Structures are given as C-alpha cells and as structure tokens.
Amino acid sequence: MVIGGLAQAGTKALGGDRFSLLSVLPGAIVISAVTVLAEAHAYEPGRSMDLGDALPADHKIVALGFGVVGAFLGGVLLRPFEVALVQLLEGYWPAGSLRGRVRPLAVERHRRRRDQAVLLAEKTELPEAPVNRSLTQIAQYHRAVVHASRIKERAGRTAAKYSPEDKLLMPTTLGNILRNVEGRTGRRYGLDVLSAYRRIYPSVAPEFRRAIGEQLDLISITSSLCMAFGVVSLAASPLIFRMNWWTLVLPVAMAASAVAYRGAQRAAQDHEELMKAVFDVHRFDLATTLHYELPDNAVAERQLHERITAFLIAFEPLAEDPLKDIPFKHPGDN
C-alpha cells in the first residue's frame, strides 16, 4: 500500500495520467548513447573503440545501476522541453536566429511543393477506354489507369497537407500539417480552433478527450524521438572517420530520426481527423456556454461563430465587440 501510494504520488508529480516511461525515453536515449560512445572511446582519435569497456563488468554493476537511474532522471529533466522541441519541428523559428533567416526559403519550398501537387492533381486525367478492345490494348489501358490514379492520389495527399492560404504556410511538413488542422476543422464553421477548443474542452466527451490526449502524446513522443536520434547522430559524427562497423551508428541514428519524423507526421494527420469529429459534434457548445441563442441555419451559424471568434481573438470589452447586439439566451428562458 505504501509503495503503491508513493508510486501514484510520483506519477502525479511527473505529469499525472499522461506520464509514462515513453515520456522519458527520448532523453534517456540521448544520455545513454552519449555515455556508451564516451565509455567506448569514440572521442579518443588515437584509440580503437571497444564496446566491452562500455558494457558492465562484475565490478561495474553498481555503476550500471547509477547509470540507469541517471538516464531516467535525465529523461525526466528533459521532458519539459518537449513542447519546445515540437515547436522547433513545426517551424516556429525566432526571426533573429539562423533558422529564422532561412525560414522564408523553407516556406517558399513548401509553397512550390503545394502548388505543384495541386496542379498535378487537377491536370492528371484518366485515359480514355480503347475503341478496339483487344487483349493487349485492354491491359495497357488498365495499367495507364492505375498509373494515372496513383499519381492523382499521391498529389492529392500532398496537397492536403498544406493550407491554401500562403500566409499560413510553415517551413516544415509537420508544421504545415498541424497548421492545416485549424483550416480544415474549426474554420469551416467560422471558428478559430485554438480559441474555441479551450472553451469547449469541458463539454467534450471523455472518449474524445482521451483520444486527443493520446494523439497529442504520440505527436510529442515521436517528435522528441526525432530530435533525440538527431542529437545521437551529431554525437556519433566522429565515427565517420573510423571507417569500420562503428561508422554504421551514424546512418542508423539518422534513419531512426527520419522514421520518427514520418511517424510524427502520420500522428498529426490522425489528430486532424479527431479534431474534425470534435468540432462536428461539439461546435454548438461554445454558443451555449456563452449563453447565445443557437442559430437555425448554416449561414446564421457561420456568422455567429465568426463574431464569437473575432471577440475571442480581439479580447475587447464585451460592450464594444462584435457580439454587443446579440441577445443572451440564459438557461430556463422561455
């Protein structure tokens, strides 16, 4: 009972229900990898590497225990920086930094990629069926249809990752996918996702909240793993001069970073579908919570949501904002 209570209290202190060993895994990977490389003499140019020096011997069991605890604590200490890591991968780069200087070039690259995908999806047409239906021509026709369909579908998937508005484009693919969540969920109803979701969150169904929390954790963990393996790649960069089996650590770490980044993109796309479902089901909860009368048609709904969004973003006094002439509808009113 006492141990269980201590474990529960420790879990709450480390992040509550959203804490798991996966949360500290990225930081533990970085600390463990750098420690193993250092113990194996990776940073000693004149000395050959020996994994045996990094593996625990009989006299190193205590040191191994301290190392495991240190890696875990290091992962816990690095966990608060996960939000900053996700924002880094999204493309929120300070204007005065080196990343900020290359940001316009990266945004332009993604704008061209979007425009090319949109053009390819629109211009790719399926071939016409052959008049002379010989076996050879039918086979060629079906191959051409499959090829054109694959090109059109791939271009459509690429275009769907980007916002149609140039001002909303981000310098990274992950950033564009997450930014596009706003345009493809709440904005079709006239709502700003970031402002509205915070206010409808208490009324969102527990199943939705649980699924969204798990999806956000997955995005955070995969993004952190991407950065962790990226750091390991930098730490392992001296191995490229050894030209032996140890050199493979660098490409393996880089490949793991790329796979984690693709995983973050996939998780972000799944997150979009969840947010669509939330706003489809709970979008009227915002007007109800703010005590405004519910609209009776789609046009009135969008107008009301646009005025609510303008009020939430502008943060002006209620008597001076776009909602000042809309009567309240309190619970129990006839």
pLDDT at position 4 is 42
Residues 246 and 160 in one domain: no
Domain final residue pick, 285, 305, 326? 285
Using 50, 70 and 90 to split pLDDT, how confident is the model at 76? low
Q: Which residue, 89, 97, 85, 75, is CA-closest to 20?
A: 75
Angle at 85 between CA 73 and CA 215, to 5 degrees: 90
Q: Taking residues 103-125, report their average pLDDT.
A: 89
Q: Is the pLDDT of residue 279 over 60?
A: yes
| One domain, residues 196 and 281 | yes
Please tell me which residue, 236 or 322, carries the higher pLDDT value. Answer: 236
**What residues does 328 pair with on adjacent strands?**
292
Domain contains 325: no
pLDDT at 5 over 50: no
**Contact yes or no for 111/169 (Cβ under 8 A):** yes
Q: Are residues 266 and 197 in the same domain?
A: yes
Greater pLDDT, 96 or 154: 154
User: Which of the listed residues 171, 205, 235 is the one where a domain comes to its end?
Assistant: 171
Residue 246, in any domain of the structure? yes
Q: How many domains does the chain have?
A: 2
Shared-domain flag, residues 38 and 85 = yes
Q: Does the pLDDT of residue 181 top 90, yes or no? A: no
Closest to 207 in 3D by CA, of 292, 277, 135 = 277
Residues 70 and 130 in one domain: no
Domain-embedded: residue 259: yes
pLDDT at 255: 93
Do 163 and 277 sit in the same domain of this protein? no
Find residue 292's DSSP bridge partners: 328
φ, ψ for residue 24, nearest 5 deg: -100, 0
Boundary of a domain, candidates 267, 285, 303: 285
Q: To which residue do tokens 């204007």 refer?
A: 95
- Say if residue 35 is exposed, middle or buried (CB neighbours under 10 Å; 0-12, 13-18, 19+): middle
Do the domain assignments include residue 183? no
Residue with more model confidence, 298 or 63: 298
pLDDT at position 32 is 74
**Average of pLDDT values for 272-278?**
88
pLDDT over 80 (residue 86): no
Q: Which residues of 267-305 are buried (b: 16+ CB within 10 A; e: fewer)?
A: bbbebbebbeebbeebbbbbbeebebeeeeeeeebeebb
**Rounded Cα–Cα distance for residues 254 and 238 (Å):** 14
For residue 33, the domain's CATH number is 1.20.58
Alpha helices in the chain (DSSP H): 2-13, 21-39, 61-78, 82-90, 98-123, 135-159, 173-184, 193-200, 206-235, 249-282, 284-289, 298-314
| Assigned domain for 158 exists | yes
The residue type found at 49 is M
The reply to whether 203 and 240 lie within a common domain is yes
Which of the residue ranges 2-16, 137-151, 177-191 would you say has the lowest mean pLDDT? 2-16
pLDDT at 63: 54
Same domain for 98 and 78? no
Residue 130 belongs to what domain range? 92-171
- Give the dihedral of Cα atoms 147, 153, 157, 159; nearest 10 deg: 90
Is residue 312 assigned to a domain?
no
Q: Which is higher by pLDDT, 68 or 278?
A: 278
Residue 146 clears pLDDT 70, i.e. is over it:
yes
On whether both 255 and 268 belong to a single domain, the answer is yes
Do residues 223 and 265 make contact, with C-beta atoms less than 8 angstroms apart?
Answer: no
Lowest mean pLDDT among 93-107, 188-202, 219-233, 316-330: 316-330
Which of 178-182, 208-212, 252-256, 318-322 has the lowest average pLDDT?
Answer: 318-322
- What is the number of alpha carbons within 13 Å of residue 267 lying toward its C-beta? 20
Q: Indicate whether 57 belongs to any domain.
A: yes
* Model-wide pTM > 0.85: no
Cβ 308 vs Cβ 287: under 8 Å: yes
Of all residues in the chain, the percent with pLDDT exceeding 90 is: 6
Upper half-sphere CA count for residue 47 (Cβ side, 13 Å) = 12
Interacting residues of 213 by C-beta distance below 8 A, sequence separation 6+ = 18
Q: Could you tell me how far CA 147 lies from the centroid of its own chain?
A: 31
Q: Which residue has the higher pLDDT, 87 or 255?
A: 255
Phi first, then psi: what are they for 96, rounded to 5°?
-85, -5
Same domain, 195 and 271: yes
Q: How confident is the model at residue 333 (pLDDT cuts 50, 70, 90)?
A: low
% of the chain beyond a pLDDT of 70: 78
Q: 138-142, 169-173, 318-322: lowest mean pLDDT where? A: 318-322
233 in the same domain as 160 = no
Residue 334 scores a pLDDT above 90: no
Within-domain flag for 214:
yes
Q: Indicate if 74 and 99 belong to the same structural domain.
A: no
Q: Which two structure tokens, joined as six digits, stand for 140? A: 């060629």
Mean pLDDT (the chain) is 78
- Cα separation, 254 vs 207, whole angstroms: 36
Mean pLDDT of 219-224: 86
Candidates 25, 32, 20; CA nearest to 67 is 32
pLDDT at position 33 is 78
Q: Does residue 140 carry a pLDDT above 90?
A: no
